């Protein structure tokens, strides 16, 4: 008994001794991410508010629309899971859309607001490097926000599922069809794949661009983010009559078919997961080029934060 607890204590001590070295590198990043969440509560409040509205709307629909399930089931008899799935997909779509908007506005303000209110002078008076500061902001957009979106969507789905079941039971109907045909787990797995492949890896250069603009612009970050790419498209069209840049942007926004974007016919959360082909996804050159560009843009943002004076 004693020896056991001794070993436990020793190993605990051991890990404590190893920890400071690792901690000293990650601690500033951890605290910087936490402070971003303190400052930008909309990162989780906005998707949660939208989820709340969706659940409320769904509840009203369940109460007011009589026998919705049967009617819809009669509609597409051949693919019954779609019937049950529709509202769930709508919920995922709205929550993800909200997260996208929040992400865009967050990134545009992340390195701009601290210069505008001069609080950058406070952040720079602490031993947190520019690299750590920019990385913490990229972490919010590329890691924290997708995870929050995922968690809120899954929670919303389960609440909807329970409400749906309760509504059926209250009417004396069987929940068997719902329970057997709604592939909740697979839907959420597909959602996770979509978030991670599309929102994180594929769109990383877009978020990095927004962060760069916020580190650079003296005002009107939104215009600086969107007008230059638009101008390039227009100029290319006028001067050369081509639209390579536009199609490149389109490709970046809508994604490769293998990314599982909302191309016609294959909704991203198809629970059969036929479109989930990580192997093919990882072999798209555009993915790796995009990630390289993202890294370069973030490196430029770090340098800008270092050189730029507060406004």
Partner 1 sequence: MACIEAHALRKTYGSTVALDNVDLRVDEGRILGLIGPNGAGKTTALNAILGLTPFQGELRVLGRDPWKERDQLMRDVCFIADVAVLPRWMRVSQALEFVDGVHPRFDRAKAEGFLAKTAIKRASRVRELSKGMVMQLHLALVMAIDARLLVLDEPTLGLDILYRKQFYDSLLNDYFDRSRTIVVTTHLVEEVQHVLTDLMFINHGRIVLNCTMEEFESRYAEVKVKPEKLAAAQALKPIQERQVFGRSVLLFDHADRQQLAALGEVRTPSIADLFVAVMGDEKPETAQGAVR
Select from 154, 298, 87 the least CA-distant residue to 213.
298
Give the single-character DSSP code of 258.
G
221 within 8 A of 109, measured Cβ to Cβ: yes
| Cβ nearer to partner 1, comparing 86 with 117 | 117
Mention every residue, 6+ apart, whose C-beta is less than 8 A from residue 71: none
User: What's the closest the beta carbon of residue 37 comes to partner 1, in angstroms?
Assistant: 10
Cβ-based nearer residue to partner 1, 173 or 303: 303
The residue (of 81 and 308) whose beta carbon lies closer to partner 1 is 308
Q: How far is the CB of 140 from partner 1 (least distance, A)?
A: 15
Shortest reach from residue 132's CB to partner 1, in Å: 9
Other C-beta atoms lying within 10 Å of the C-beta of residue 179 = 14
For partner 1, the closer CB: 114 or 188:
114
Closest to partner 1 by CB, 126 vs 282, is 126
Beta strands in the chain (DSSP E): none
Specify the length of the chain in residues: 311
Residue in this structure with the two tokens 């909740």, named with its chain if needed: 184
Tell me the closest approach of the beta carbon of residue 211 to partner 1, in angstroms: 19
Q: Which is nearer to partner 1, 41 or 64 (CB)?
A: 41
C-alpha 40/C-alpha 205 separation (Å) is 22
Smallest distance from partner 1 to CB 297, Å? 22
- Contacts with partner 1 by CB under 8 A lie at 24, 27-28, 30-32, 34-35, 38-39, 114, 117-122, 124-129, 307, 309
CA 189, CA 195: separation in Å to the nearest integer?
10
HSE-up (13 A, CA, CB side) for residue 212: 16
**Choice between 25 and 143, CB closer to partner 1:** 25
Using DSSP's 3-state secondary structure scheme, residue 277 falls into coil
State the minimum distance, in angstroms, from the CB of residue 150 to partner 1: 26
CB of 219 to partner 1, least distance (A): 19
What's the first-to-final CA gap in the chain, in angstroms? 64
Residue (246 or 303) nearer to partner 1, CB: 303
Distance CA 290, CA 295 (A): 9
User: Nearest distance from residue 307's CB to partner 1, in Å?
Assistant: 7
Q: Is the Cβ–Cβ distance between 262 and 145 less than 8 Å?
A: no
The rounded distance, in Å, linking the Cα atoms of 253 and 242 is 19
Query: What backbone phi and psi angles, to 5 degrees, belong to 31?
Result: -70, -30
């Amino acid at each position: 008994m004693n020896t056991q607890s001794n070993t436990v204590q020793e190993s605990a001590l051991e890990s404590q001794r190893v920890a400071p070295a690792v901690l000293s590198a990650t601690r500033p990043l951890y605290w910087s991410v936490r402070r971003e969440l303190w400052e930008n509560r909309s990162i989780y409040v906005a998707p949660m508010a939208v989820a709340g509205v969706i659940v409320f709307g769904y509840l009203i629909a369940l109460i007011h629309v009589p026998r919705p399930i049967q009617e819809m089931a009669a509609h597409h008899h051949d693919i019954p899971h779609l019937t049950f799935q529709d509202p769930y997909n709508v919920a995922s779509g709205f929550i993800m859309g909200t997260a996208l908007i929040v992400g865009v506005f967050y990134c545009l303000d992340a390195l701009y607001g601290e210069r505008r209110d001069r609080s950058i002078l406070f952040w720079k008076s602490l031993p947190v490097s520019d690299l750590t500061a920019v990385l913490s902001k990229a972490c919010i957009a590329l890691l924290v926000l997708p995870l929050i979106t995922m968690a809120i969507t899954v929670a919303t789905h389960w609440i909807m599922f329970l409400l749906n079941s309760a509504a059926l039971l209250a009417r004396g109907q069987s929940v068997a069809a719902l329970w057997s045909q709604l592939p909740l787990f697979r839907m959420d797995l597909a959602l996770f794949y979509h978030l991670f492949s599309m929102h994180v890896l594929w769109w990383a250069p877009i978020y990095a661009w927004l962060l760069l603009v916020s580190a650079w612009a003296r005002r009107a970050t939104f215009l600086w983010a969107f007008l230059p790419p638009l101008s390039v498209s227009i100029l290319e069209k006028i001067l050369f009559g081509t639209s390579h840049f536009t199609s490149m942007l389109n490709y970046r926004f809508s994604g490769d078919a293998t990314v599982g974007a909302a191309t016609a016919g294959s909704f991203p959360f198809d629970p059969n997961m036929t479109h989930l082909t990580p192997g093919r996804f990882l072999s798209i050159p555009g993915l790796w080029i995009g990630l390289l560009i993202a890294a370069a843009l973030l490196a430029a943002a770090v340098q800008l934060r270092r050189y730029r004076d507060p406004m």
